């Protein structure tokens, strides 16, 4: 019997890497994203993937895609937002609201729409970020956003059981999320970050995707947030 997976936000970065790993283990993998050109590019380069243009804030569109898929075995939600960072005293609350609109509410809406279509032993895997539990300056806004996403995991793991619910919490990852930073500055930032990490490098999307697929496929794992941050939460390495 074919295992069907849907990766929302699966057209680039961690989402695309997770989709490729799921396809490699034999899943029938669907990817969804808001931007038609990215969906076309992802499925053009990886024809084993089936693409859907989808706004995950649109419940009607979600219902239509889930109805088309039928029974779904694995749901991975990798929607992201780069908004919400900055000093709390001057943080623009409207910008923070937009960050929740970009990540938290699509995550909630996607899960609610998926529930009637999930197999009894299905899995849901979310993406948070290590800012949810680190005391880093100027991350109160974006950290609270990721904490809200990760806060869904434990209560839903019990409420939706035996459906499994987990999340992956990455630190810095070299993905298109960073495209708003000029390339030269981004390279400098990554080098500085790598020097502080116990693992000595900034993660690739595929390294994080490996944890995503583990969470999605391991039938004994639920209610868990997997930290894949290169040791960032441990503090900087000794000089």
Report yes or no on 238 lying in a domain.
Answer: no
**What pLDDT, on a 0 to 100 scale, did the predictor assign at position 160?**
98
Q: What is the pLDDT, as a whole number, of residue 138?
A: 67
What pLDDT does residue 188 have? 84
Full residue range of the structural domain in which residue 39 is found: 4-233
Q: What is the CATH number of the domain that holds 227?
A: 3.40.50.720
The answer to whether 225 touches 214, Cβ cutoff 8 Å, is: no
Per-residue tokens: 44 = 């053009």
**195 in any annotated domain:** yes
**Structure-token pair, residue 6:** 């849907």
* Placement of tokens 């991975």 in the chain: 76
Query: From first to last of its 239 residues, what are the pLDDT tens digits of the chain?
Result: 799 999 999 999 999 999 999 999 999 999 999 999 999 999 999 999 999 999 999 999 999 999 999 999 999 999 977 776 767 778 788 888 898 999 999 999 999 999 999 999 999 999 998 887 777 766 777 888 999 999 999 999 999 999 999 999 998 877 776 677 777 887 888 888 888 888 888 889 999 999 999 999 999 999 999 999 888 888 776 65
Residue 176 falls inside a structural domain: yes
Closest by Cα among 64, 19, 6 to 45: 19
Question: Based on the structure, what is the number of domains in the chain?
Answer: 1
- Whether residue 239 lies inside any domain: the answer is no
Model pLDDT, residue 239: 58
pLDDT in the model for residue 91: 77
Residue (of 6, 75, 32) closest to 216 by Cα position: 75
Q: Are 236 and 196 in contact (CB under 8 A)?
A: yes
For residue 23, tell me if it sits in a domain: yes
Q: Which two tokens stand for residue 214?
A: 């583990």
């Amino acid at each position: 019997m074919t295992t069907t997976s849907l990766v929302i936000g699966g057209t680039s970065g961690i989402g695309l890497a997770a989709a490729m790993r799921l396809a490699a283990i034999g899943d029938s993998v669907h990817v969804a994203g808001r931007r038609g050109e990215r969906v076309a590019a992802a499925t053009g380069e990886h024809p084993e993937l089936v693409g859907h243009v989808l706004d995950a804030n649109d419940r009607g569109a979600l219902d239509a895609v889930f109805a088309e898929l039928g029974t779904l075995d694995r749901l991975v939600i990798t929607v992201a937002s780069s908004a919400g960072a900055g000093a709390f005293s001057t943080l623009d609350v409207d910008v923070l609201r937009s960050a929740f609109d970009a990540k938290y509410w699509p995550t909630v809406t996607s899960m609610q729409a998926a529930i009637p279509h999930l197999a009894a032993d299905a899995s849901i895997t979310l993406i948070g970020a290590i800012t949810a539990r680190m005391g880093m300056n100027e991350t109160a806004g974006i950290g609270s956003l990721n904490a809200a996403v990760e806060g869904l995991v434990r209560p839903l793991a019990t409420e939706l059981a035996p459906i499994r619910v987990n999340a992956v919490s990455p630190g810095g990852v070299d993905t298109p999320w960073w495209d708003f930073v000029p390339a030269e500055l981004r390279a400098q930032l990554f080098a500085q970050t790598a020097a502080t990490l116990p693992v000595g490098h900034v993660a690739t999307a595929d390294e994080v995707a490996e944890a995503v697929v583990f969470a999605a496929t391991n039938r004994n794992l639920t209610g868990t947030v997997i930290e894949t941050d290169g040791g960032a939460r441990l503090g900087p390495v000794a000089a």
